[in-house]
Chains A and B, each alone.
Chain A
Amino acid sequence: MEATIWLGTAFALLSIGLYCISRPSMIRILLGIEMILNAGNFTFIYFAAQRVAAGYVDPLGQSIVFMSIVTGGCVVAIGLALIVNAYKQFNTTDARELRRLKW
């Protein structure tokens, strides 16, 4: 039952993230990517909590989550910088307007 709740939450985050990516707003697309990353983090934490040795949860899963938050922050920084520049060039944050390059 516990596994269903935890993994179900992770899958829910994954689906919400994928839904957000399919939306036109560039900010929302970026938030969708973060949500999928957090679905991964969530799963790592759950599986780490399942492996208890000598009274401690597995440190590997926990440390991986810390590092993935850092890389996720880098991706968001680059993404926001690109969105600012896209707003300067196209005067909108609607991803549908970025269609100069086709075929």
Chain B
Amino acid sequence: MVIPTALYYMFSPIIMGIVGMLADKMKTPKLRDGVAILVSLWGVLSMWMLYNMGVSAGDILVFNIGGNPPLGACLEIDMMSLYFASSAVILSLLITIYSYSYMSHDTRLTEYYALLCAITVGMVGVAFAGDMYSMFIFWEMMGIASYCLVSFRKDSPGPIEAGFKYMIMGSVGSVILFFGMAFIYGMTGTLNFAQLAMTLRGGAITPWMVIVFATLIVGFGVKAAIVPMHTWLPDAHPEAPSPISALLSGIVIETGLYAMIRVLYILYEPAVFKLPMAILAVVTMTLGNLMALRQDDLKRMLAYSSVAQIGYMLIGVSTGLAYGLLGTFLHVFNHAFMKGAAFLAVGSIDHETGTRDINKLKGVGRKMPYTTLVIIIAFLGLAGFPGTSGFISKFILFSSTIGAGLAIVAVIGVLNSTLSVAYYARVIMALLGDEPADAVDAKEAPFLMVGVTLVMALVILVFGIFPDSMTTIAAEASNALIEGLGNYIGAILK
């Protein structure tokens, strides 16, 4: 099977590492930073090439590597995979540009950029995988790179502690997932998605299927930060460097959600996991919002807010309808931009003032007007104010529950949204408030950092006021999962 040129992007971490080492030897650090931006641009172009290879017309691209299924590895690209992969590479591009300025005083940047590349390629691989085993390999690639990046600043105790916690919880999740995979293999003799769906989907729910369901929820749920497996997140995300926090919160935890949706829809009918998902959604968003209320650290507050947003996304999964999943997918894209912008803007404040404590940041808005503008837009989006893209996706999510007969979940969701305004408004009021006598010294962040965050804020507003184009693409992605499942299975088996 010929591998298309677009998929050579998968080798980019190796290239990034080699170029970085050579740039270190030649003492030209700017070359390495420039190549890092070019490599992430390469990712965006690759996704565009794949989109034009027939995915836009509803075709499904299948690449078998090393033999036909079940033996060979398999990459299968449909609209849903491409939607997630594109969100990942676009956010990764913006973050690489931001890192050029933010990380310029750090050392060991070769490792930083190579690992950033590895996370992105891992996420693209999880999205493209056509069998559970390829998915597991890319899953571990994404996980191992993110453990390293969380503890990147290894000279202080915080990142080491957070990284260790993340490493332990993440790998326990992965090995339990692997154990579950062993039982799936034992039942069917294959790990290919299409053959699994032919064998297991719609069958009787035996005790083995219940055990597999539990291992899947634990395995994917740890990375997706579903309560009660979320405890690593509020430590790991604040202690990572800010661009990495933006990537982790923006898209890495959603990749866990993607993998869970994909595998659950392959193995089970939606009716089986409707109720567990609804309960997890309610618990996750309530606990995330309640815990965020009592944080003084800005990044920690945003980390708990990510837990709450995962809860909103689970609402769409629990409906089992194409309309609900449209809301989930739209919220993944919008959340990537909103949480990305929020974390990057908070990173700018941290970079300039050296503190993230809300009580010490009173009046900073007068000194850093553009960054504060971005924070206000991003926070209003996260709270779901009309005019921002967060409103559109939350509206679709909550209204989809009516069709699924879970209206009570929507009621709790709306109450949670109201609750979340309390902590977002507190930050905005602190930033815009009067300047106390002992205010911290600050000036506006460098041009590149402000530029990236302003572009992201603009995207939030544009897709909030003109949501049609994005909604159409997300609808194609959710249809590819619900109505196109037969095509997805048929594409491998033919």
Contacts and interface: CB of A to CB of B under 8 A. Distances in A.
B189 A82 contact: no
Interface string A51-82: 10000001111001001100110110011001
B164 A86 contact: yes
B158 interface: yes
Contacts of B491: none
Nearest to B192: A60
A83 B186 contact: no
A95 B140 CA distance: 23
B182 A83 contact: no
Nearest to A26: B164
B164 A36 contact: no
A21 B157 contact: no
A60 B185 contact: yes
Nearest to A3: B186
Contacts of B163: 82
B305 interface: no
Interface in A12-70: 14, 17, 21, 26, 29-30, 33, 36-37, 39-41, 43-44, 46-48, 50-51, 58-61, 64, 67-68
Chain A interface main SS type: helix
Interface string A78-103: 11001101100110000100101101
A101 B239 contact: yes
Contact of B161 (A37, A61, A74, A98): A98
Contact of B171 (A14, A39, A79, A83): A79
A78 B144 contact: yes
A43 B44 CA distance: 40
Nearest to B72: A60
B133 interface: yes
Q: Which of B71, B147, B165, B186 has the most CB of A within 10 A?
A: B186
Nearest to A42: B182
Contacts of A61: 185
A66 B239 CA distance: 34
Interface residues of A, number: 44
Contact of B162 (A33, A79, A101): A101
Nearest to A51: B189
A41 B160 CA distance: 30
Nearest to A34: B175
B117 to A, nearest CB: 16
B148 interface: yes
Contacts of A98: 161, 164-165
Question: How many B residues touch the partner, as a band?
Answer: 35 or more
A17 B174 CA distance: 14
A86 B175 contact: no
B15 interface: no
A82 B178 contact: no
Contacts of B190: 60
A75 B164 contact: no
A51 B190 CA distance: 11
Given A33-B171, A82-B160, A98-B161, A58 B189 contact: yes
Most buried by A among B140, B148, B179: B179
Contacts of A40: 175, 178-179, 181-182
Interface string B221-239: 0000000000000010001
B3 to A, nearest CB: 19
A101 to B, nearest CB: 5
Contact of B294 (A50, A60, A103): A103
A89 B174 CA distance: 27
A43 B179 contact: yes
A70 to B, nearest CB: 9
Contacts of B151: 82, 85
Interface centre among A47, A67, A71 (most CB of B within 10 A): A71
Interface in B158-213: 158, 160-165, 167-168, 171-172, 174-176, 178-179, 181-183, 185-186, 189-191
B214 interface: no
A85 B175 contact: no
Nearest to A33: B171
A90 B383 CA distance: 39
A101 B238 CA distance: 10
B154 interface: yes
24 contacts: A10-B182, A29-B168, A33-B175, A36-B176, A36-B179, A40-B179, A43-B179, A43-B182, A46-B186, A48-B185, A60-B71, A60-B185, A60-B190, A64-B133, A64-B185, A71-B140, A75-B140, A75-B174, A82-B164, A86-B161, A89-B156, A89-B160, A98-B164, A100-B158
The 7 closest A-B pairs by CB, nearest first: A43-B182, A47-B186, A40-B178, A36-B175, A40-B179, A89-B157, A71-B140
Given A59-B71, A79-B171, A82-B147, 13 more contacts: A21-B172, A33-B175, A36-B176, A37-B178, A39-B179, A40-B181, A47-B186, A61-B185, A64-B191, A75-B167, A75-B174, A101-B161, A103-B295
